[in-house]
A and B are shown apart, each in its own frame.
Chain A
Amino acid sequence: MAGTDPVPAAGAAPRGGGAAAQLKVRNLEAWYGESHALHGVDLDVFPGETVTLLGRNGVGKTTTLRAIMGIIRKRKGDVEFEQRSIMRLPLHRVARTGLGFVPEERGIFASLTVEENLLLPPVVAKGGMSLEEIYNIFPNLLERRTSPGTKLSGGEQQMLAIARILRTGVRMILLDEPTEGLAPVIVERIGEMLKVLKLHGLSVLLVEQNFRFAARIADHFYVMDHGKMIDSFSVSELPARTEALNTALGV
C-alpha cells in the first residue's frame, strides 16, 4: 500500500488546471503516544482552492491538520508545501514557509489583549493584511482592542483567530472547525469571511462537521474514515454524492 494512492480521483488530472499542488500529502501516518491515529493519508490542495475534510467525529480530521503542520511530531510519510518537503522542519519554521494554522479551540490567549492577540503571529511574508485593514473588516475587534482576548464572544474569537493569521501573509490556512458551537448568524459571517479569503487567493484546508456550510464554500472534498481518505470529489460531483455522503457521515 505504501506510496500508492488509495483514492483514484485525488491529484489526478484536471484539478488545479495543470498547476502543481500547493500542498501535497502522501501516505501520512501519525501517532498519539502508542495509538496509531492516521493510517496513510493522501491529499492535495491546489493554489487558491478551498478543500474540506469531511468525516465523523474521531476519524482523524483534526489529527490530519496537526500532523501536516508538524504539531504532532510522531509521524511518517511526506508533506510537501510548494514543492518543498516540510517534514523535517522544526515547528516554528513551518509557518515561515507560508502555512498558517487556526486550531479547533481557536487559541485566543487570555493574558493578551485583542490587539496583542492580533499582533502575536509574526509576519512571515509580504501580502498580509495590515492592522488597519483588519479593523476595517472587523470593527468590533477595534472597539474591543484593549480587552482580554477571551472576553470576546465565541464568534468574535473565531474572527480574531482567522484575522490574526491573515496579517501574517501566509498563502494557505489550515482551519479546524471554524463554525463549531456558533449561532447560525455567526456561521453565516464566517462563511462570508472565507469567501473573502478566497478572493485574496488564499488556499484553505478546512475541517468541518457542518456539511451544509462546507458545501457552500469548498471546491473539493475529501471524506475520511478510520485515519485515511475513503473518498474524494469536486463540488460539481456533490449532488450525485449527497446520498452516499449522508450514509458515510451518519447524518
Chain B
Amino acid sequence: MIFGVPLPALMGQLLIGLINGSFYALLSLGLAVIFGLLRVINFAHGAFYMLGAFAAWMLLAYAGIGYWGALILAPLIVGIVGMAIERLMLRRLYGLDHLYGLLFTFGLALLLEGTFRHFFGTSGQPYTAPEALRGATNLGFMVLPNYRGWVVVASLVICLGTWAVIEKTSIGAYLRAATENATLVQAFGVNVPVLLTVTYGFGCALAGIAGVLAAPVFQVSPLMGSNLIIIVFAVVVIGGMGSILGAIVTGYMLGIIEGLCKVFYPEAANIVVFVIMAIVLLLRPAGLFGKET
C-alpha cells in the first residue's frame, strides 16, 4: 500500500501512463522536428498516426504482411506520403503566414480521416499483437503484459535514437543549423529544399511508427488520431515548440502524471494535461524547455 493505494493498482496505472506517454513522446517529437525546421504546425500529425495504424492493418489484411514487416513498411509508406504532400502542396505555403500551413494540414487531416471513415466506418478494426509479444510477465510487484513493455522500450529507443541523430551527427548538424538560418545553410551549398522534404517525411514516419505500435493496444480506427492529437498539442505547448529533448521528456512526464492522477484523483485525469498547460502558459509562455525570446 502506498498512500492508501494498493501497489499493483498504482503500478498498473503508472504503466498505462507510461504507455500513453510513449505515444505522446513519439508524436510530439515528430511535431517538434517538423516545427523546428519548417515552422509548420502539423495538424495532420494525428492523421498520419492513424495512417500508420491502418497501413499495418491493411498490410496484414490485403498482403499477409505481419507486425514486424509492418513496423518497417508502414512508417516508410507514411513517410513517403508525407514527402509527396510536402513536395506538391505544403512547399507552396512557406513564404506565407504560418497560419496557412496550420490550415492546410488541418484540412488534410479532415480529408484523410473522412476518407478512411467512408471506407471503414467509425468502429475500430482489431489488430493483434505478434506471437512473440503476447502473454505477460510477472515482475513480482505487478504483472506486465509483454506487448505494453515492448511499446515503452521501442518508443524510448526510437526517441533517444532520433535525439542522438539530431544532436550528434553531421546530418543532425545540417538540421540544427537550418533550423536557425535555413537561407545561410543553403548559401553554403546544402540542398535545403530536399532537407525540408526529408524532415517532413521523417516527422510523419515517426507518427506512422507510433500508429503501428498503437494498433494492437487501441483499435485501428479512423478517429484514433484526432482523439490523441489534442493532448499531444498540449504536450508540445508544455514542452516548448521546437525543443527536441523537451518534446520527449514532456511526453513521458505527462503520460505518467495522467496515470498517477487516475489513481489519486480520477475525476481530474482527463483534464490534468490541460490544467498543466494553462499553468505553464501563465508562468513560462515559451514552454518548459523552450527558449524565451
Seen from chain A, the residues whose Cβ lies within 8 Å of a Cβ on chain B are 69-71, 90-96, 101, 103, 107, 109-112, 116, 119-122, 124, 168
> With A112-B173, A119-B170, A119-B173 in contact, do A92 and B186 touch (Cβ < 8 Å)?
yes
Q: Is the CB of B179 within 8 A of A111?
A: yes
> With A92-B190, A92-B191 in contact, do A120 and B183 touch (Cβ < 8 Å)?
no
Q: Is the CB of A69 within 8 A of B173?
A: no
Q: CA separation between A122 and B170, bound complex, in Å?
A: 11
Q: Is the CB of B183 within 8 A of A111?
A: no
5 shortest A-B CB distances, which residue pairs? A95-B189, A121-B188, A111-B176, A107-B184, A91-B186
Fill in one digit per residue for B159-186: 1 if any A CB lies within 8 Å of its CB, else 0.
0000000000010011011011101111
Q: CA separation between A237 and B188, bound complex, in Å?
A: 35
Interface of A is mostly: loop
Within 8 Å by CB of A120, from B179, B185, B192, B193, lies B185
- Closest CB-CB distance, A169 to chain B, in whole Å? 11
Q: CA separation between A92 and B184, bound complex, in Å?
A: 9
Within 8 Å by CB of B174, from A93, A107, A120, A124, lies A120
Q: Does B283 sit at the interface, judged by CB under 8 A?
A: no
Seen from chain B, the residues whose Cβ lies within 8 Å of a Cβ on chain A are 170, 173-174, 176-177, 179-181, 183-193
Besides A92-B190, A92-B191, A111-B180, 4 other A-B contacts (C-beta < 8 A):
A91-B183, A92-B192, A101-B184, A124-B189
Closest B residue to A122 by beta carbon equals B189
Q: Is the CB of B176 within 8 A of A92?
A: no
Q: List 10 A-B contacts (CB under 8 A).
A: A90-B193, A91-B187, A92-B192, A101-B184, A109-B177, A111-B179, A112-B173, A112-B177, A116-B170, A124-B189
Closest A residue to B187 by beta carbon equals A101
Closest B residue to A174 by beta carbon equals B187
Chain B residue contacts of A94, Cβ below 8 A: 187, 189
- Closest CB-CB distance, A3 to chain B, in whole Å? 28
Chain A residue contacts of B180, Cβ below 8 A: 109-111
Q: CA separation between A154 and B192, bound complex, in Å?
A: 27
Q: CA separation between A75 and B180, bound complex, in Å?
A: 25
Chain B residue contacts of A70, Cβ below 8 A: 187
Q: Is the CB of B170 within 8 A of A71?
A: no
> With A103-B184, A116-B173 in contact, do A122 and B179 touch (Cβ < 8 Å)?
no
Closest A residue to B191 by beta carbon equals A92
